[in-house]
Amino acid sequence: MEVGRTVPGGPAGETLGAAGPADERIEPLACGRDAADVWDHAVEGTLDAHERDCPHCRAAAADALGLDGVVHRMAAERPVPPPSVLDGVMQAVIDTVTAELRPQDLLALDSPAGPARLSRAAAARVLRHVVDGMDGMRARSCRIEPVGSGSGRTGTNGAAGDGAATNGGGADPFGVTVAITVTARFGVDLASVTARVRQMVVAAGEQALGVPVRSVDIAVVDLWDEP
């Protein structure tokens, strides 16, 4: 049998979760004041002359203040979830990510000893980490595309500074282009720092990943102040 709960101070047997106009309307006090306004004024300590004198307003204010104390005590409670919750979430996430790696999530690695691939997300995290390590720079988006994928940029925009950005199609099965967005601290010299980002990304691609980076697009999308 269903439980019909009643709402204290509300119409008896009001349906749970009901969201009709009756739920929205705020009955004015007998003196005509908006009851919610009086309530807010009471807890904020901004009651006006009428509200301080009017018996209806005073009753409403007394209710407000009576509840406010215990509500504050409850708001001050800071229960925290046990670590097992987040551990469980992250374990499930990592399992899913690994289990669902699709070909388009992987970059081909130029191993002489057999077929080898690298998670694109893992590679992006390494490149972001390199940028984060630079003074006044933070990486945001980092998209890595195989040059041979034919999608997006052609890899011939000459921005790489490595002199090898002329590969087309399947001739360069391991080369990638990197599009990265960064935020920078106010006052950093954007031109020189982005040139350095380019160098670092190309170097990290080769040294940490073994992935030849043919071009790097950098967009500065925001500036921040040191706290």
Partner 1 sequence: MTPPVRLTVGDAVVARIAAATAREVPGVVALRPDLAQTLLGLAGSLLGDRSAGDALSAAGASAAVQDGRAEIALTLVTTLGHNARDLSAAVQRAVAARVRAETGLDAVVRVTVADVLLDVPQAERESKQSPQVPPPGSR
Partner 2 sequence: MRTRGAREDVCPPPRVPAVPREPEPTPAERELDDTTLVVRAREGDVRAFSALAQRHQAALYRLALRLVGNAADAEDALQESLLDAWRRLDRFRGDSAFTTWAYRIVTNRCLDLLRRRRATVSVEQVAEVAPERLAAPEAGAPEHAAEVDAGLAALRAALRTLPDEQRACFVLRELEGLGYAEIAEITGASETAVRGRIHRARRGLAEVMRSWR
Angle at 223 between CA 219 and CA 227, to 5 degrees: 145
Q: Collapse the DSSP code of 185 into the 3-class scheme (helix H, G, I; strand E, B; otherwise coil) and give the result.
A: strand
Residue 185's Cα: distance from chain center in Å?
20
| Best CA proximity match to 176, nearest among 127, 90, 108, 97 | 108
- 91 counts as binding partner 1 under rule CB under 8 A: no
67 forms part of the interface with partner 1 (CB under 8 A): no
Q: Out of 101, 195, 203, 221, name the contact with partner 1 by CB under 8 A.
A: 101
Nearer to partner 1 by Cβ, of 34 and 95: the residue is 95
Question: Residue written as tokens 């070909």?
Answer: 103
180 binds partner 1 (CB under 8 A): no
Site membership for partner 1, residue 111 (CB under 8 A): yes
Q: Helix or strand or coil: residue 104?
A: helix
122 binds partner 1 (CB under 8 A): yes
**CB nearer partner 1, residue 126 or residue 190:** 126
CB-nearer residue toward partner 2: 37 or 162: 37
CA separation for the pair 25, 39 (Å, rounded):
15
**In 10 A of CB 64, how many CB atoms?**
20
Q: How far apart are CA 121 and CA 124, in angstroms?
A: 5
Q: How far is the CB of 205 from partner 1 (least distance, A)?
A: 10
The site partner of 111 among partner 2, partner 1, none (C-beta below 5 to 8 Å per kind) is partner 1
Does residue 114 bind partner 1 (CB under 8 A)?
yes
Nearer to partner 2, 132 or 206 (CB): 132
170: left (phi over 0), alpha (psi -120 to 50) or beta: alpha
Gap between the terminal Cα atoms of the chain = 58
Q: Which of 112, 84, 218 is nearest to 174 (CA)?
A: 112
Nearer to partner 1, 50 or 117 (CB): 117
Site for partner 1 in 28-47 (CB under 8 A): none
| Residue 43 or 118 having the CB closest to partner 1 | 118
Choose the contact partner of 211 out of partner 1, partner 2, none; CB within 5 to 8 A by kind: partner 1
Minimum CB distance to partner 2, residue 122 (Å): 9
Interface residue list for partner 1 (CB under 8 A): 94-95, 97-101, 106, 109-119, 122-123, 125-126, 129, 207-211
